[in-house]
Structure 1
Amino acid sequence: MAENREGKLAILRVSDDLSKEQLMGDGDISTNTSQPVKHEKNLITLNELMPHTKSIQEIATGSELLLAYELGRYAKHLLGKELSLTGISISKDLLSEEHFSFVVSNGLDVGFEIERKELADYSKNARYYFTKKVDGVDFKAKTQKQVVYDFEHNTEANRIMQGDNRSAAYVSLIAYIMVKSLRDEVPTPKLLIDHETYTHQNLEYVDLFILKNYGNKILKDLVEIIYSQAAGAQPDWEAFVIFHRQKGLMNKEYTITEKFNHLKENFEVGDVVLYYKRKKSAKDDTIKKLTHCHPAVISGIENGSVKLEWYPIIQTRLTRRVELDEIKQISKERKKESIYMFDDYEDFTICNETFHLTELGIDTCTFSELNFFIKLIDFDGSHQWLKTNEGEKYVWMSTLDTIYAVFEDRGVDYNKEKFLSTYFQPSNREPIYDQYVQASTTKE
C-alpha cells in the first residue's frame, strides 16, 4: 500500500576531547527545570535559527536535539553567538535517552541545569554522532532556492560525510546551510541530496527522515532525498523504528505480559491495524526489511494470543475490474488466452490467523518479531477507481482513505464508528469514498 519516495540514517564519533566520565555518564547532575539559564547579549534562541515558517515550542525527537546541537555549533562558528534552549521545553521521554545525554555532554545549553548522574550512557553508540564541521563540503550545484549535494561530485572534499555517522553528518549539513543563510541574510535554500546512483548504507538518511516526518517536521519542505531503490531501501520504515527508539520504545524483546498489557490498553476487537511481515535476517538486525503490509481487523483477543483478519487485495470492486480488464486486453493483443475467470473479478481474499504473543509484535512492543501490527499511519496511499457523477475516475487516496474505501465497498466487518472518530472526525475530514458515493447517489 506504499508508493515509496525518499531516504535514511547513519552514524559518527564523539569529540576526542570528551573524558571517559563524560562518555560513561558519570558525574554529578539531575534534571532541574527550576534554575533557568540567564540570557545574555551573545545568546541566540532556537526559533531565531528556524526558517520563518517554523516556530518550535517543544523538542519532540532525538533527531531534533541533534539539529539543535548542530545549529548551536554553527551559530557559534558563523555568528559568534551561543544557542540557548531557554523557553523551549523538551519531551520528557527524551531526557533519559542517549541523544539528550550527547548534546548536554557536548555543551548544548538546554535551558536548565542537569545532574550528570541522570544522563544516559551513550559511549557504546558514540561513533554515531558528529562533531566535525562541514564547511568544506563541495556542493554539486547552488542557486538561491536550492543547493544540491552529491557525494560523488567531489569524493575528496565530501569524504567527511562518509563515516559511520553519515546520518548525523547530514543533520550537520542542513544546520550549516540554515545558519549560513541567516548570517548572509538570505532565505534558507532547499537541500537536495542527489544520490540516485550512489550506494548508501542502511539508516543513512534516518535522522533527515525523522526531521521531515515526525515531531515538528522541521525539514518537511527543506530537504529532498533522491536515492536508489536497487538494494530495497526502506528509509520510511527505518525512520519509524528509530523515531520510537529515540523515545525508549521498540528497543528490546518484550515479555508476553508487556505485550498483553499494551494490547488491552490500546486495542480492542474490531479495531483496524496495519499488519506487517518482515524478512528473516541476521540476529543483530532488529529493524529487518518489510516484505508485506496489509490492513487487518482484530477479530479476537485472548490471554496469550491475538486473532487477525487481514486482506491481501486492497482494491475496490471497480479497481479490481479495471485492472483485470487491462490484463485481459493485453493477453488478447498478444493472442494469448486470459488466465482470469469470472470468479477472479469477485475475489476478495480474507485471511484469518491466530498468533501467540511470543511470535507477534504488538505496536510499539515490537523488536525482532517477523510478524507485528501497529496503529494506522497515513504516510502513503494508493490509486483507486471510483464511480463519480462524471463517470469512473482514478483517484489518489491516502492510506486511511484507501482502507475506508475498500472496507466500505467490500462490506468488511469492522468498528466503523471508532475508525471515523479516531482518524477523520478530529480534523473534520470526510472520507473521499463517501464524497463520491454521495455525488453518485445524488446524480442517480
Structure 2
Amino acid sequence: MDQTSAEPSPSGPSAHDGRRNRLSPMRFVLGFGVVAGLGDFVYEGARSVIGPYLATLGASAVVVGVLTGAGEAVALVFRLATGPLADRTRRPWPITIAGYAITIVAVPLLAASQLLWQAGVLVIGERFGKAVRSPAKGTMMAAASHSLGRGRAFAIQEALDQFGAVIGPLVVAGMVAVSGYRLGFAVLAVPGAAALVVLAVLRRAAPHPHDYEEDAARSAAAPAPSHGSLWHFSAGFWGYSIFTALTMAGFATFAVLAYHLQVKHVIPSYQIPIVYAVAMGVDAIAALASGWVYDRIGLRGLIVLPLLAAPIPALSFSTNAALIWAGAIVWGAAMGMHESTMKAAIADLVPAERRGTGYGVFTAVYGLAWLAGSAAVGALYEVSVSATVLFTAVAQAMALAAFLPLVLRRSLPR
C-alpha cells in the first residue's frame, strides 16, 4: 500500500489519512517503552504500597486479596470487550490514550480517599484503564515487532516498562518516609502527565502502526485471513491459556505479600516499596532473558515458571528479612517471564486480524485465575502460612502437568 494514498486500508475499515509513520519499528518500540515506563512509574508506584495502605483503612488480608485480585481480573476480563473493539475499529490510538488517561487520573486520587470503599473503587478503576488500553497497545506492538523478533521487541518494551516500575516505588518510598502514603500517591500525577505528553508525540510520529506489519507482509507470502468465531483459536492457544491459568491461580498479588510485611512488622513501612522496586528490577532482567529464549525455543522456556512460583509463599510470608528479599527476587523473575513472553506468544498464536480478540480472551482467562488465586491465598493466609504454601505447590504442580503434554506434542510456537 502507498502510505500517501487516501484509500481505505484493505485490512480494516478505517480510512488511511495519508500521513506516514516517521519512526522505524525499533524506534516505535523504544518510544512505547518510554510511555510504558512513565505509566509504570505511576501505577507500580501506587501498587507497591496499596496493600499496606488498605490495611491502614481497616482491610483484612482477605479483603486485600479480593480487592487486588478483582482489580487484576477487571484489567484482564474487560479485554474481552476492548480486544474485539480494537480489531473492529482498527483505530488503536484513541483507545490506548483513553486507557492511559483513566489510570493516570485514578492513581493520584488515592491521596484523597478517606474510606476503604473509596480506595477500592480507585484501585479497580486504575486497572480498568489498563483493560481499555492493553489490547490496542498490544496490536500496535505486535505489528511493529514483526520484523524485529517477537520476543526481542516485547522484552525491550518490558525492560523499559520496568525501569519506571523500579523508580516509581523508590520515589513513593521516599514520600512515605517523609510524609506518609497520601503524598506518595499525589506525587505520581507528575509522571502521569509526562506519559500523556509523550504518548501524544508518539501518535503524531507513527499514526498508522499497523502499516509496519502490512508493509512487511507484502514482501513475503502472507497467510490467508482467518475468520473463525470468537472462541475458535488453535489448540496451542488454549493449552497455553490453561497452563497460564493454573500458574496464576497459585501466584499471589504483591499487595497480599506487602500486607504481610505491614501487619507483621517484618520491615519498616517505607522499605516495603523498596522491596517492590527490587522485584521490578528483577522483572526487567528476567523479561530480557525470557524474550531471548522465546525467539530461540518458543514457549518451551516457560517450563521453569511453575518451579519459580512454587516457593514464593514460603519465602515471602516469612518473618525473616533475608527470605523476604529472596521472595521478592523470585516473584519478580516469574512476573518478568509472564509479562514479556505472554504478549509475544499471543501475537504468534492468533491471526493478525484477530489479535486484539486473542489478547482479550487469553487475558480474561489469566485474570479470572489470578482473582481466584489471590482470594484463596488471602483466605488461606488467615488460616496459616503452611496452608498457602501447600495450595501454591499443588497449583504449580498442576500447571507443570498441563504444560508437559504441550511440549511433547510440539503444539506451541517456536
Check whether TM > 0.5. no
- Structure with the largest fraction of helix: 2
- Structure with the largest fraction of strand: 1
TM-score, scaled relative to structure 2: 0.24
Q: Which has the higher contact order (CA 8 A, sep 6+)?
A: 2
TM-score, scaled relative to structure 1: 0.23
